[in-house]
């Protein structure tokens, strides 16, 4: 065994879209230990809750992350609604889930493109991002925004969709599905991709449970946990929802789970578009959260379970708002997955975990 050397990885690295630093302790070409470091983009967004009232803060919440914008505004709104005992109309619940699942598709396609680029498969990167553009077109037509949607409010949503628009969304998704199936087939059967991912960065089910890993990272290790299983909102009206699982626990399994989740999200949107009830899209929320009242909530973001906490103080400003993101939960799992791997596989393992540092630091 060679002498231990510490190799700094990031925060600026071609494979990292966001600043994450790792101190990799290597012996020869093998990583024997890893210490992650974040803290380069902490913006103190939670502190802003003191100067933005509970209706205004929704716009701060969705700016936590450009990829999970819809999820954060939804998670925040649900938590404040739970704090104030607000019942959201059924139609608004359906619209929220449709936008949230579209956001999952765009997040996964963005990730697949980045992963393909890291494999050295640049044409695949272009195809994934081209398909993602069509999801952004749906956002633009239905909300007016492509990244920051500002469509969720405390008590419902601010925009409705007519049946012709819902029909159009289903048609666009059918087109995406056809093209995406070909891309997915290549991603999952290509020899070079398999060579880089199969058996790399293995995490067993026991490790995933012990390290409280969440999201596709956990589901690729056969952990049957997805916050959508709680059936809240429109998820409860789905005819059948089962999380996508894989027992292999390696980088390939993580790619596969995300690939299949795109198809699952398309099916969810199509089913809800067909079932969406008529009615109001929002209720008027009166009053302020009571002093000392507190509520917690979990939401399945594209990267996994996100925890939200809100506490009122009797005024229109919240006393505290807190988000614990999936990446925060997965960092420890990432260090375990990296131990024992080849130095050349580090970028692949990090990418398949899909860390979102902006979310984590807020």
Partner 1 sequence: MEFKQSFEELAAQDVHAEAQRRKDSGWRYVQILAVNLDNGVDVIYSYMLDGNLQNLVVKDMPRDGQLESIGDIFLESFVCENEIHDLFGISFTGMPIDFHGKFYRLSCDKPMTIISPEQLARREKEAKAKAVAAAKKEKDAQNASDADMEAKLAAMDPEKAAKVRAAMEAKRAKAAQKEAE
Nearer to partner 1, 86 or 135 (CB): 86
| d(C-alpha 65, C-alpha 250), whole Å | 27
| d(C-alpha 19, C-alpha 116), whole Å | 20
Instruction: Provide the minimum distance between the beta carbon of 296 and partner 1 in the complex, in angstroms, as a whole number.
Output: 5
Q: Where are the alpha helices (DSSP H) in the chain?
A: 57-61, 69-83, 90-119, 122-143, 163-189, 191-197, 205-210, 216-219, 251-275, 326-338, 346-353, 357-361
165 lies in the site for partner 1, by CB under 8 A: no
How many whole angstroms from its chain centre is CA 219? 14
Q: Are 202 and 250 in contact (CB under 8 A)?
A: yes
Strand partners, 27: 4, 30
Instruction: Provide the minimum distance between the beta carbon of 167 and partner 1 in the complex, in angstroms, as a whole number.
Output: 32
Taking CB under 8 A as the criterion, the residue among 70, 333, 346, 357 binding partner 1 is: 333
The residue length of the chain stands at 362
Nearer to partner 1, 42 or 275 (CB): 42
Torsion of CA 111, 115, 120, 122, to 10 degrees: -20
- x/- track of binding to partner 1 for residues 34-63 (CB under 8 A): -x-xxxx-x-x-xx--xx------------
Size of the site for partner 1 (CB under 8 A): 46
Q: Across the chain, how many H-helices and E-strands are there?
A: 12, 8
- x/- track of binding to partner 1 for residues 199-238 (CB under 8 A): ----------x-xxx-----------x-x-xxxx------
- x/- track of binding to partner 1 for residues 287-326 (CB under 8 A): -------xxxxx------x-x-x-x--xx-x-xx-x-x--
- x/- track of binding to partner 1 for residues 58-87 (CB under 8 A): ------------------------x-----
| d(C-alpha 145, C-alpha 152), whole Å | 12
Handedness of CA 351, 262, 235, 293 (dihedral sign): positive
Instruction: Provide the minimum distance between the beta carbon of 70 and partner 1 in the complex, in angstroms, as a whole number.
Output: 20
Residues that bind partner 1 (CB under 8 A): 35, 37-40, 42, 44, 46-47, 50-51, 82, 209, 211-213, 225, 227, 229-232, 294-298, 305, 307, 309, 311, 314-315, 317, 319-320, 322, 324, 328-333, 360-361
């Amino acid at each position: 065994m060679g002498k231990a050397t510490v190799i700094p990885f990031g925060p600026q690295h071609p494979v990292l879209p966001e600043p994450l630093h790792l101190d990799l302790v290597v012996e020869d070409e093998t990583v024997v230990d890893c210490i992650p470091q974040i803290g380069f983009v902490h913006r103190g967004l939670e502190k802003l809750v003191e100067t933005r009232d509970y209706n205004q803060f929704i716009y701060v919440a969705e700016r936590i992350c450009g990829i999970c914008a819809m999820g954060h505004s939804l998670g925040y709104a649900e938590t404040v609604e739970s704090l104030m005992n607000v019942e959201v109309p059924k139609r608004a619940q359906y619209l929220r889930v449709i936008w949230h699942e579209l956001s999952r598709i765009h997040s996964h396609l963005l990730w697949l493109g980045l992963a393909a680029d890291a494999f050295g498969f640049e044409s695949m990167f272009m195809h994934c991002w081209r398909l993602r553009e069509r999801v952004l077109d749906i956002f633009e037509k239905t909300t007016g925004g492509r990244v920051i949607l500002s469509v969720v409010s405390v008590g419902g949503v601010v925009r409705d969709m007519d049946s012709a628009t819902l029909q159009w969304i289903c048609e666009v998704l059918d087109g995406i599905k056809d093209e995406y199936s070909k891309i997915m087939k290549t991603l999952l059967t290509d020899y070079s991709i398999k060579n880089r991912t199969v058996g790399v960065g293995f995490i067993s089910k026991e490790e995933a449970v012990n390290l409280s890993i969440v999201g596709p990272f956990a589901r690729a290790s056969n952990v049957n946990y997805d916050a959508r299983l709680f059936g809240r909102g429109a998820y409860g009206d789905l005819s059948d929802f089962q999380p996508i699982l894989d027992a292999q626990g390696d980088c390939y399994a993580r790619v596969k789970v995300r690939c299949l989740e795109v198809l699952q999200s398309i099916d969810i949107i199509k089913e809800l578009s067909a079932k969406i009830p008529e009615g109001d899209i929002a209720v008027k929320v009166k009053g302020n959260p009571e002093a000392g009242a507190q509520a917690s909530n979990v939401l399945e973001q594209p990267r996994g379970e996100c925890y939200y906490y809100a506490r009122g103080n009797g005024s229109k400003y919240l006393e505290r708002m807190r988000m614990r993101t999936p990446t925060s939960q997965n960092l420890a799992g990432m260090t375990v997955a990296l131990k024992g791997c080849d130095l050349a596989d580090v970028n692949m393992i990090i990418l398949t975990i899909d860390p979102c540092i902006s979310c984590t630091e807020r």
